[in-house]
Each structure stands twice: as structure tokens, then as C-alpha cells.
Chain A
Amino acid sequence: MINHLPVLIIIVPLMGAILCPLISYYSPEWGKKTVIGALFASFVMSVMQLVNVAERGEPVHYWMGGWNPPYGIEFVIDGVNAVMIAMVAAIGAMTALFSSPFEEANPKHRFRSAGYYSILCFLAIGLLGMSSTGDAFNLYVFMEIVSLAGYGLIAIGEEKAPVAAFRYLLTGTIGACMYLMGVGFLYSATGTLNMADMAVRLQDVENMTVIIIAMACLVVGLGVKMALFPLHGWQPAAHSYAHHAADPMIAGIMIKIPAYAMFRFFFCIFDESLPMMGAVHKIVGVMAVCGILFGSLKALRYHKYNKILAYSSIGQVGYIALGFAIGNFYGIAGAVLHIVSHAFMKTGLFYTSAALKYKYHIEYTDDLGQVYRKMPVTSLTLVTLALSMVGLPPFAGFFSKWYLALGAIQNGQYFYVAVLVASSLLGAIYFFRIFEKLFMGEETEMEDRYPAAEHGGKELPLRIMIPLLMAAAMIIALGLGNSLVVDFIEKTVLEVFLA
């Protein structure tokens, strides 16, 4: 059992996802439960795997079909992606639970909830696969699963969603194709698709042009998927119009795992000693800096809660790219920590957004006046997560920023620190503006669609509350226990990536 964990983490939810339509045909309720159960099982297994990797102290390899790499497909679970997998599985399970009150709202269409859960589960599967795999082409396949699931979940959202989804489809396909081109160039130079093998064989490649072009393709391809600054066009609309309950997952982790993949390519496959690595780091750094400032400034302009969060994501993805651009241990540690912490922050914030929509149909921050009286738990979660986004201690956001700043100063890149500081302050402006509206705005009359009086004094259904509180708890736990995470990834990063 324990040595099958890497694949079981993916196969169990896969079984759930493909059987969900069949089960729902007889009982939609059980179809839903299947998916939620499968995702929770996957989460439990991912935690077991995390412990396992920690105990072994070296990467776990799993060979699909028993073919040893590079002939077959290999899963490699090391310190970094064990954390990623646990994160994705946790958010997947939480989001599945979170969605169930939203999907009850349409009882007419029997297939509706089945399809929704199936797609949601596939999104989780794709992300889990992307983080587990050690094969460049396999990553492409998983990326396509993620994208397709993303298109679906975005398209079934609000009225404007189909256009957003369609644009994402077009850009996303270009991105995926660029990624595929990049893999193609690398394949043409090395003749292999296995990442570890590719890294070894790339050292013998003398023709630098092909590596440069491959790198450019990969940056563009993964940049589109992670909404890195000049390639972010699809992101704000997609994140603000997506299906309310799935939005947390889309916004939270769909743009993080490509970032992780980028990290893999930059530090695992390409050798740090390559002559153009410095230039690549600079270019990524410029993109990151522009993204951070652009996202933060643009978020100031909007009053729609989701739009603010979406633009702030562009900035936060910039943080992650900045970590890669810094490129030393603390930079990478900061980036990885930020992937995890921002995933929980953004997921949590979108949970609050969805909860506000669920209870009061609130979309604009102007309507938030005095909502905290009616939804204290949601408001408290919002405050916690937003403070973490701003980067205030003792929440997780501060510590990822700490490592990024540490790395930047170690490299003497004071400019990056200035950008981090500026971005925190801009973030403070738009989040404290929300706080002001939430706590000090004028009360507006709204129809309560889940009146607490009728539900035993509960502010929201428990299935919404639990993920909300989990996200907040995770942020605090990650903040206070960040050195555990860093210690966990330290060995991997130092040995494998910066060797």
C-alpha cells in the first residue's frame, strides 16, 4: 500500500470522477458523496505520503507499468512536490465539500451536480498529476486535463462566464502548445522526455540556441498558465466569473501548479551553470516585478470583490516568479512557501467571496456594509486571510515574503525588496478598504438567503464553514510552522536543484 501511494493519490479520485455520472444516474446525492469521499481519501493518502517522504529522506519513485525510466513514465515525489500534492489534495477535498451547498441549488437537472463534481475532481486530479509526474510530456497531458476542467468550471459560472472561458481556452491552448513546443525542442536535443534524464543529457548538448528557444517557449507556455504578467490577459475575467464554488480552487491552485512546473524546469532540468541562466532570471525578474506592481495597482481600481482578488493574484504570482528570479535557496524556499501559502490564502478568500454570494448575493465591496454582524466567522476569516495577503505577521504571507526578501538581499538585489515592500503597501490599501467597508460601511438591506434564525442560529451551512475555517487555520499554522516546511524542502532543494 505505502509504495503505491503516489499513484493511488491520483487513481482514487479518478475512480470517483468517472463513476460519479453513473452513480448520480441513480442517486445524485451518492454521486456527490463518492467524489467528496474520494478526494478526502486522496488527501489522507497525500499526508501519509508526506510523512513517508519525510521519513525516507530521499525521493520516492514510482514507475508506471513497471517500466524503468526513461522508457516508461515515472512519478518522483521529493520534498517539494510532496508538499504540493498535500496542498492540492487538501484544497481539492475542502472545495468539494464546500461546493455541496451550491450544487444543491439546482435540483432540477440530475446530471448537473454529477458533471460538476466530475469536472471538479478532474481539476484536482490534473493538478495532482502535474505535481507528481517526472515526465515532461505527461505533464502536458495533465496540464490539458487541468485546462479543460478549468474551462468547464469557468464556463458554468455567471452570465459572462462563457466568453471568459472561451478566451481562456484560446490563450490556454496557445500556452499549452508553447509548452509542447518547448518540450519538443528539448526532446530534439536530448531524445528523452524524462525530466531527470533530460537534465543529465542536457549537459552534453553543445548547441545553446535550442536550449534558449526551449526555455523561451517554456516560459511563455507556463507563464500563460500561471498568469505571469504580460500573459495574464485571460485571468481576471476567468477568476471573477467562474462557478462560485469552484472559483476557490481555480483561483487558488490552478495558477500555482504551473508555477511549480516552471520551478522544476528552471532548477531541476536546466543547469544553473548554463551561460544564459542569468539573463533568463533577469527576464523572469522583470516580468515578476511588472506583474507585482501591475496586479496591485490594477486591483485598486475595482470594486468588485472577485476582480480585486483576481488582480491581486497576478501580483502574487509575481512573488513566486520573483523567487525563481532570485534563484538562491531562500528565494526558492520563499517561492515554494508562497505557492503553498498563497494557495490557501486565495482559496480562503474566494471561499469568503462565495459565502457572501451564497448568503446575500454580494458581489461588490460597496454592499459589504456591516455584514460582519451577520457573518462574523466569514468576516474574521476574511480579515485573517487578507492580513496574510498583505504580508503581516504572524500569518503565512509574511514569512514567504521574509524568505524572498532574504534571498534578494543575499544576492544584493535591493530593488526586489523595494518592490516587495511597495506591493505589500498597495495590498494593504485595497484590503483595508474592504475592511473599512465591511466593518464601518453603511448597512444595506439585503435578502438573507440562508437566514440564521431558521437554521439553528448558524451563519452558513457547516459544509461552507469548515473549509472557511480550515483555510484560516492553515494560514496561521503555515505561518507559525513555516520553518518546518522550509526544513522539509531544504534537503531536496539543496541536493537536487542547486547541486
Chain B
Amino acid sequence: MIDVLEIFLAEKGIYMLTFILMGLGIFGMIVCGNYMKKIICMNIMQVAIIFFFLTLGQKDGGTLPVLVHNLTSAEEYINPLPHALMLTAIVVSLGTTGVALALLMKIKEIYGTIEEEEITGKRWKK
């Protein structure tokens, strides 16, 4: 039973869950009226994508991509390339979050609210 589940997960299940997570992130960004939540959902989406990339590099029986002296074969290490890529992506996401927060605070100052409805509903008061 567990074998079947494992195979299913390896072939599809994990990807499905990842895409669900990503879908929820995007959905949250669209549907949440609060800008703060939009930012958090954005982060959720990014985590999903990062995880997707990382699963591409996973290897059964592989170990961390740090060279150990008695292991030399390529099969014994997890693919390091997605890790390197995702380090970059994760840093980018932090930068984006920082900028988003700054914008959020600026919006709060100008409009007095961070709710989508209130901002689109009323014009900026002088």
C-alpha cells in the first residue's frame, strides 16, 4: 500500500501538491483584499515554485551536495544546480518582499488604508 502511495507521490502527488500550493498563492493574491495578505500569498507562491525546482534535483539515495571523500560517483549526490538557482530566487523574493512592504507603508500613509476596496472605491483625499 505504502509502495503504491510512494510511487504515486513520486510521479504525481508531490507535483500536484506543489501546484495546489502555487495555485492557492496566486488565488490569494487575487482574491484577498488586504495588501498585506497579498504580499504573504506572494511569498507562498514563491515557496511553491522554489520547492518545485528543488524536487527536480532530488535523487533517490542521494546525499547533500557537499563532497565527502569516499563518495565520488555522480549518482550519490543530489543535483546542486537547482539549489544554486533557488538560492538566487529566494534572495530575489526577499528583495521583492522588502519593496512591497515599503510600498504598503507608503500606501497606508497616502490612503489611510490598505484594503483594495477602499482604495479603489474612494479617491485619494487631499
A residues within 8 Å of B by Cβ? Answer: 137, 140-141, 144, 147-148, 151-152, 155, 159-160, 162-163, 165-166, 169-170, 173-174, 177, 180-181, 184, 187-188, 193
Contact = CB atoms under 8 A, between A and B. Distances in A.
A193 B79 CA distance: 14
A147 B96 CA distance: 9
Contacts of A159: 110, 124
Contact of A137 (B35, B46, B85): B85
Nearest to A171: B29
Contacts of A137: 85, 88
B86 to A, nearest CB: 10
B106 interface: yes
Nearest to A187: B56
B21 interface: no
Contacts of B99: 148, 151-152, 169
B42 A173 contact: yes
29 contacts: A137-B85, A140-B89, A141-B92, A144-B96, A147-B96, A148-B95, A151-B99, A151-B103, A159-B110, A159-B124, A160-B124, A162-B107, A162-B110, A163-B119, A165-B103, A166-B100, A169-B99, A169-B100, A170-B38, A170-B42, A177-B45, A177-B46, A177-B49, A180-B53, A180-B89, A181-B22, A181-B52, A187-B56, A193-B81
B80 to A, nearest CB: 12
A147 B95 CA distance: 11
Interface of B: 22, 26, 29, 35, 38, 42, 45-46, 49, 52-53, 56, 81-82, 85, 88-89, 92, 95-96, 99-100, 102-104, 106-107, 110-111, 119, 124
Contacts of A141: 88, 92
A173 B124 CA distance: 26
Contact of A166 (B49, B56, B85, B103): B103
A231 to B, nearest CB: 13
A414 to B, nearest CB: 38
Given A144-B92, A177-B22, A181-B49, 11 more contacts: A140-B89, A147-B96, A152-B99, A160-B124, A162-B106, A163-B107, A163-B111, A165-B103, A166-B104, A173-B46, A177-B49
Contacts of A181: 22, 49, 52
A169 B124 CA distance: 20
A246 to B, nearest CB: 16
Contacts of A151: 99, 103
Q: Kindly name the residue among A169, A173, A187, A188 whose own CB sees the greatest number of chain B CB atoms within 10 A.
A: A173
Contact of B49 (A148, A155, A180, A187): A180
A160 B124 CA distance: 8
A148 B124 contact: no
B76 to A, nearest CB: 18
Contact of B45 (A174, A187, A188): A174
A193 B88 CA distance: 15
Nearest to A160: B124
A163 B108 CA distance: 10
Nearest to B126: A159
Contacts of B89: 140, 180
A166 B111 CA distance: 13
Nearest to A162: B106
Contacts of B56: 184, 187-188
A152 B98 CA distance: 12
B110 A155 contact: no
A184 B49 contact: yes
B79 to A, nearest CB: 9
A161 to B, nearest CB: 9
Nearest to B88: A141
B26 A174 contact: yes
B27 to A, nearest CB: 11
B91 to A, nearest CB: 10
A187 B82 CA distance: 10
Contacts of A187: 53, 56, 82
B119 A169 contact: no
Nearest to B103: A166
B82 to A, nearest CB: 8
B103 A169 contact: yes
